[in-house]
Amino acid sequence: MQASTGTQKREFNKLQKRLRRQVGNAIIDYAMIQDGDKVMVCLSGGKDSYTLLEILRNLQRNAPIDFELVAVNLDQKQPGFPEHVLPEYLSGIGVDYHILERDTYSVVKEKTPAGKTTCALCSRLRRGSLYGYAEEIGATKVALGHHREDILETLFLNMFYGGSLKSMPPKLLSDDGKNLVIRPLAYCREADIAEFARLMAFPIIPCNLCGSQPNLQRQVIKEMLADWEHKHPGRLETMFKAVTNVAPSQLADRELFDFEGLEDKQRRMNAGRIAAFDLLAREA
Distance CA 109, CA 156 (A): 27
Distance CA 42, CA 33 (A): 15
Q: Compute the 3-state secondary structure of the chain and give helix, strand, coil in percent, each to the nearest 5.
A: 55, 10, 35
Tell how far CA 251 is from the center of its chain.
24
SS3 270: helix
Q: How far is CA 135 from CA 39, 141, 183, 216, in A?
A: 11, 10, 18, 32
Contact criterion met (CB below 8 Å) for 74 and 46: no
Is 122 marked as binding a ligand? yes
SS3 141: strand
Annotated binding-site residue numbers: 119, 122, 210
Annotated binding-site residue numbers for [4Fe-4S] cluster: 119, 122, 210
